[in-house]
Amino acid sequence: MRTRLALATGLAAVSLLALAACAAPGAGGDGSDGAGSDGSGSDGSSGVTGGLAGCIDGTWEADTADMATQLQDSMNSSGGTITSSTADGGITLDVVGDQMTYDADVTFTIVADSDGLELQVVQSHVGTSTGRWQVEGDQVVFTDWETGITITNTISIAGEAAGDSTEMPADDGSGVPMTVQCDGDTMVTQPEVSPFSTTWMRVG
């Protein structure tokens, strides 16, 4: 039973980190990230009035409830028994000219059944990351990115803490090409190596 609990705990934590990496643009690693366009094109600069760059410009809010649902579906399809997966708080992306600001204050909570014992993983993502961006052909590339997100992971089994809370810097998937579909007030982003996507709604 201990082995199965350990595997379930590890899967939950890793899946949450993978999910978070889908939302964050930009930084870390080599300081660049790619994003494919939806075919609308661009003149190769950021902040233009048309094409992909013009569509991205503005303030966006992530659909964190959808992110939590994707997490539950993914883990259950991998053999898990997830009874609930929820998100509390929000993630915003503010794009002004060639500057992007990613602001997270969200907590994901997943509850699983493991041999009749309740396993709960609570992971919070708090902080702000900023950087410059521009469209190059069919990609969005990020430069001078500063990552300021802290991830805190807390696990409990049957209501008892399973080790101390851990804090770790965010890994935002730098260097992984990210497809982008932007249409008016809706934008969907997805790293090509990830099963998760993030849906963003324009709020400004």
Give the Cβ contact number of residue 80 at 10 Å: 20
What's the pTM value of the predicted model, to 2 decimals? 0.78
pLDDT one-digit tens code per residue, 160-199: 876 555 555 555 545 456 677 889 999 988 776 778 889 9
1 vs 26: CA distance, rounded Å: 40
User: What is the number of domains present in the chain?
Assistant: 1
pLDDT of residue 42: 38
Number of other CB atoms surrounding residue 46 within 10 Å: 24
State how far Cα 17 lies from the chain centre: 8
pLDDT tens, position by position, 110-128: 898 877 888 888 888 898 9
190 is in which domain, residue-wise? Answer: 2-202
